[in-house]
Structure 1
Amino acid sequence: MNERRTALVTGANKGIGFAIAAQLAARGFTVLVGARDATRRAAALSRLTGDVHGVELDVTDEPGVTQAAKEIRTRFGALDVLVNNAGITGDGTQVPGSGGLPEIRRVFDVNVFGVITVTEAMLPLLRPGARVVNVSSSVGSLTDMTAPAGGSLADMPAMLGYPVSKTALNAVTAQYAKHLRHQGILVNAICPGYVATDLNGNDGPRTPDQAATLAVHMATLGPDGPTAAFVDDNGPITW
């Protein structure tokens, strides 16, 4: 059994997830790099330092996620941190009127149902006082998207997949926070900001390392930290 604090990060072979894994490892965690592609997972492990291990994890594959949970229990005993980072943006068929229902379902399968699938499988492994961090986005803020003239992202087209999935993810976060509060487990959602990753063609003003800092902060909150919060670097985001 592992006596170090153990963290599982999904979608950790690149981008924000990789940076989160690296920063947690630097803090002395045993870090489990969750990724579905074996080659990319191995490449990520070769670039990381510290006590890091790969876990085969496709968040849309429920039997595979169940098997990953069994492997984690056998090899590491329990989890102190779960970071649900894996996510996709989807393509332009999410725009209303574009007939993109299959793409909308694909986005929800990863961004919402994938988070639920992983969290449900890992619930029995979470120690009392564990931390769960869900990587969300301010595009899911109902307050912002219903603001006059379209809010702060007025230049972003209306989409039925990505932003709506993040709204749903925020609700999922609140429900898990409610369920786990009595165990001292804090569950929060973060917005990493507009980060240069493969999701946007590496076009963004923030680096994955900058974005990961907030996730790691929320993953290492003290017992008096918030739960059911939705935050970015500037503090709480309106729901």
Structure 2
Amino acid sequence: MKTVLITGANKSIGYETARQLLQQGYSVYLGSRDLENGQEAVEKLKAEGLNQVEAIQIDVGNSDSVNAARATLGQKIQSLDVLINNAGISGGMPQAALTASIEQFQNVFDINLFGVIRVTQAFIDLLRNSPEPRIVNVSSSQGSLTLASDPANQYYHHKGAVYQPSKSALNMYTIALAYELRGLPFKVNAVDPGFVATDFNNQRGTGTVQEAGTRIAKYAMIGADGPTGKFISEEYNLETGEVPW
């Protein structure tokens, strides 16, 4: 049975991704900053008959928490097949380029970029033990420099001077990570779940968590012939999924 760790999975898109992978026969470690919330999510999934799931306390913004999660997981499994870096924050509004505080930038980057780096570096040894390791970095089309600068883009006027750079930086990290792992059986991709109605955006999104979960799960399960080092947004490109950086 393949194993997957999903950060920020006690609710919303992460939770739905966990559900869909459980339905596909994966064993899921459901990462949650608050262990009680994670355990509540686990009980909800088990009530649906999805039993191969366990909560893991992990605060991606805290190195001690990440390392403790790695130690805990290492006592349970010898290899990790999939890492989904889902945890993220928006940074709140407003996010004007001239008035957003340095602290606001630091808080968002600490989760959306540095959190991904902390987790990836901590769990890379377990991933290397898998015959077909997969890393999915949950990004956003808002991180595309090309789309964000295009007046024809439907979200052109949706500017978040803090959130958008954090996802652009995450995309660049994904490129570098995929490059370093080239020649190995890894598949590393940045995946945009789409503009989904969640608490993250005060339910303003037009998509569903089910659609988002399907998009993420798809790239967690890709085969040896699947893409790596790509930026995927099926909301924009239904044919190949690829969108410009």
Q: TM-score, normalised by structure 2?
A: 0.92
Distance in structure 2 (CA, Å) of the matches to 1:144 and 1:215: 21
1:154 and 2:156 equivalent?
yes
After TM superposition, what 4+ stretches of structure 1 lie above 2 angstroms from structure 2? Answer: 149-152
Distance in structure 2 (CA, Å) of the matches to 1:61 and 1:200: 24
Paired letter, 1:207:
T
Distance in structure 1 (CA, Å) of the matches to 2:202 and 2:40: 20
Paired letter, 1:136:
S
Residue 204 of structure 2: SS of its match in structure 1? coil
Give the deviation of 1:133 after TM superposition. Answer: 0.4
What are the residue-to-residue correspondences of 1:1-239 with 2, within 5 Å? 4-48=1-45, 49-126=50-127, 127-147=130-150, 149=151, 151-157=153-159, 159-233=160-234, 234=238, 235-239=241-245
Give the deviation of 1:61 after TM superposition. Answer: 0.7
Distance in structure 1 (CA, Å) of the matches to 2:173 and 2:100: 27
- Alignment gaps of 5+ in structure 2: none
Distance in structure 1 (CA, Å) of the matches to 2:156 and 2:95: 17
- Number of equivalent positions: 234
Structure ranking higher in strand proportion: 1
Paired letter, 1:21:
A
Give the deviation of 1:99 after TM superposition. Answer: 4.1
Residue 195 of structure 1: SS of its match in structure 2? coil
Paired letter, 2:190:
A
Give the deviation of 1:40 after TM superposition. Answer: 1.1
Give the deviation of 1:93 after TM superposition. Answer: 4.6
Structure ranking higher in helix proportion: 1
Residue 175 of structure 1: SS of its match in structure 2? helix
- Alignment gaps of 5+ in structure 1: none
Give the deviation of 1:75 after TM superposition. Answer: 0.7
Q: TM-score, normalised by structure 1?
A: 0.94
Residues 187-234 of structure 1, C-alpha deviation per residue, up to 9 Å, x if partnerless? 001111110111011222211111010111100111011000111222
Contact 1:93 1:103 in 2 (8 A): no
Paired letter, 1:65:
V
